[in-house]
Structure 1
Amino acid sequence: MASPRITLTVPGPHGDREIGISNPDRVIWPEAGITKRELAEYFIAVAEPFLAANGDRPVSLERFPDAVGGESFFSKNPPKGAPDYVEAVTVTYNSGRRHPQLVLTEIASAVWAAQMNTIVFHPWASLASNPDHPVELRIDLDPQPGTGFADAVAAAHGLREVLREADLEPWIKTSGNRGLHVFCPIEPTHEFLDVRHAVIAAARELERRMPDRVTTAWWKEERGERIFVDFNQANRDRTMAGAYSPRALPAATVSTPVTWDELDGVDPTTFTVRSIPERLASVGDPWAGMQDNPGRIDTLLGWWERDLADGLGELNFPPDFPKMPGEPPRVQPSRLNPDNWPKPDA
């Protein structure tokens, strides 16, 4: 039997909003026993840091009509019947198509999204006021089979050194799963392709320094037991779980900002929908003020040009992107026909 509908009072910049939550006792995370009501209340509890990281930018909602582990789908544009405080901005996707995309301007929008069965929030790297120019350089450190979180931590420390040499200040968060996300605030002076090239330049420099521990290989068969530096997360319309966003994983883990000093001792499984409000109350938000002093990607773009001159060109794009200039063959190396795609040194 469905639990009765409740109403939550949600504070905001325009006063309190009353938001109805249907089936509040429905269990979303069966293993953890966390309900829909708890999820909605979580967003109220983490409103300030959640909006600082995910608000005022295009965002996609990952929605689960039943519970984690069940079917899911993405919502990008506001669905019919969305309240007027759920805003939108028209963005251009990699295909060239233009479409409205959701924008969160107050925490009531996230609570409404929870009522609409949203668990994971995927924000763009750009703001709604200027969606074509990222304000963050983002790098996803993705453990491959045979590696784990500790390997990602080691790679993150190496990446921090690389980025600081490029005059950028990196900030870090757990992915909510096995990996880590490194962000650098940047001035919105370059479009997505330039930022992607800056990420590739940083990734290649890290790979040169840690060749046995990290890789930029796009094809899984070439990665080995190394951390994959996922440069394609820097593309337009490519997103990762936002800071303080829950993940659709059994333990209800949350993608959580941490300090560099605490990184070595972090256990990402302890950061959950139930534990994060207490963490924020006791230690605060490690990402507070992150956007106060954005850097520039000029040094990394100089490294990109240097690598081009040395014969290192473009890397593969995701399969749904149009074929891009200079892109390598979109075929696994083990299936490459040299008659059709001769190697560069052939």
Structure 2
Amino acid sequence: MSAKPEERIVEGVRLSNPDKILYPEQGVTKGILADYYVAIAPLMLPHVARRPVTMVRCPTGRGSKCFYQRHAGSGVPPQLGEIVIPGFDEPYLYISDVAGLVAMVQMGVLEIHPWGVTIDHPDKADRIVFDLDPDEGLSFEDVIAAAHEVRDRLAALGLLSFVKTTGGKGLHVVVPVEPTAAWKEVKSFAKGVSAQMAADSPERYLTKISIAERAGRIFIDYLRNDPTSTAVAPYSTRSRPGAPVAMPLPWDSVKPGLDPCDYLVTTAPALLAKRKADPWAEMLTVKQTLPDHPRG
């Protein structure tokens, strides 16, 4: 496949207008974004490939009109597959390899949000997500403390958990589990852990989505654990100023002084190159099942 002067071929995908600016503040182009995903693909794909995804498409770049896409439609390249999921009328999209990541860049995708299932068992979750979303007045150190509390409570139940920044003001604590439990059970478990935290420290946490009640507290969003409810992928960019990315972290780096704004398209590859190990590697090998309690 040969490219025209205004095109590039990246991982077998024709990238039109690679100099098109997607993040005006940083000058991040489509070509730069494609190179970013190629660089981090070995770390990202194990957590994204063969999972139904919701994409945030911003065809003319960040700050322009963006929209969500879950299903096939016009402009969907052949590098994206389709899966029919029982109980849903339209097939969902997924990717399998680095070419799929580059194809999403070609589509103007600035955020990738996978389900907590794979296409091999779309009715059984294998990821549980606790999304810690702080009130505007709280410091990031408050979120860090909350993440460690979630981790400790899960550890007391025999569960190993992992953490990532979100490209925003919160943190995600993620629990890999064997795909044996139905969505209803997974959501009930996540609700139970979250509700217990809110009951023990009502001045710090809540599980209601109401903005009016969130003042000075952290919303523990357990509703991510539902069919079609997604969480931003590790290493995914966000459609936000600065070109931030969601970054998996080792727990010992989740401490006062952590700044999620350090993790950008322009800085992440160099930061990752300095790491001695993948902090989420064990997520791919750990074998654990949903405990019998708590339930919400």
TM-score of the alignment, normalized to the shorter chain, above 0.5: yes
Query: Which residue number in structure 1 is paired with residue 265 of structure 2?
Result: 273
Query: 1:82 offset after TM fit, Å?
Result: 4.0
Query: Which residue number in structure 2 is paired with residue 108 of structure 1?
Result: 99
Query: Which residue number in structure 2 is paired with residue 319 of structure 1?
Result: none
Partner Cα separation in structure 2 for residue 255 and residue 81 of structure 1? 26
Partner Cα separation in structure 2 for residue 104 and residue 220 of structure 1? 35
Query: Which residue number in structure 1 is paired with residue 7 of structure 2?
Result: 6
Query: Which residue number in structure 2 is paired with residue 328 of structure 1?
Result: none
Partner Cα separation in structure 2 for residue 116 and residue 9 of structure 1? 14
- Aligned with residue 129 of structure 2, among 123, 138, 147: 138
Contact 1:254/1:271 (8 A) holds in 2:
yes
**Structure of higher RCO (CA pairs closer than 8 Å, 6+ residues apart):** 2
Partner Cα separation in structure 2 for residue 152 and residue 200 of structure 1? 18
Contact 1:5/1:20 (8 A) holds in 2:
no
Matched, 1:287 2:280: yes
Secondary structure class of the residue paired with 2:252: coil
Which residue type is aligned with residue 158 of structure 2? D
Query: 1:24 offset after TM fit, Å?
Result: 1.3
Query: Which residue number in structure 2 is paired with residue 76 of structure 1?
Result: 70
What RMSD, in angstroms, separates the aligned Cα atoms of the two structures?
A: 1.7
Query: 1:8 offset after TM fit, Å?
Result: 2.8
What is the TM-score with the length of structure 2 in the denominator? 0.93
Secondary structure class of the residue paired with 1:98: coil
Which residue type is aligned with residue 228 of structure 1? F
Which residue type is aligned with residue 8 of structure 2? T
Contact 1:59/1:102 (8 A) holds in 2:
yes
Matched, 1:296 2:289: yes
Matched, 1:57 2:48: no
Query: 1:23 offset after TM fit, Å?
Result: 1.7
- Aligned with residue 83 of structure 2, among 81, 89, 107: 89
Q: Identity across aligned pairs (percent)?
A: 32
1:1-346 pair list within 5 angstroms: 4-10=5-11, 17=12, 19-80=13-74, 82-92=76-86, 96-264=87-255, 265-283=257-275, 284-299=277-292, 302-304=293-295
What is the TM-score with the length of structure 1 in the denominator? 0.80
Secondary structure class of the residue paired with 1:46: helix
Runs of at least 5 residues in structure 1 that lack an aligned partner in the other structure = 11-16, 308-346
Query: 1:4 offset after TM fit, Å?
Result: 4.9
Query: 1:212 offset after TM fit, Å?
Result: 2.1
Query: Which residue number in structure 2 is paired with residue 327 of structure 1?
Result: none
Runs of at least 5 residues in structure 2 that lack an aligned partner in the other structure = none
Query: 1:21 offset after TM fit, Å?
Result: 1.4
Contact 1:104/1:110 (8 A) holds in 2:
yes
Contact 2:79/2:103 (8 A) holds in 1:
no
Residue deviations 1:152-186, cap 9 Å, x none? Answer: 11100111111111111110000110000010001
Partner Cα separation in structure 1 for residue 30 and residue 127 of structure 2? 31
Secondary structure class of the residue paired with 1:74: strand
Contact 1:88/1:102 (8 A) holds in 2:
yes
Query: Which residue number in structure 2 is paired with residue 13 of structure 1?
Result: none
Partner Cα separation in structure 2 for residue 294 and residue 191 of structure 1? 17
Residue deviations 1:251-286, cap 9 Å, x none? Answer: 000000001100113210010111111122210421
Secondary structure class of the residue paired with 1:202: helix
Secondary structure class of the residue paired with 1:261: helix
Which residue type is aligned with residue 186 of structure 1? V
Q: Which has the larger radius of gyration?
A: 1
Partner Cα separation in structure 2 for residue 182 and residue 253 of structure 1? 18
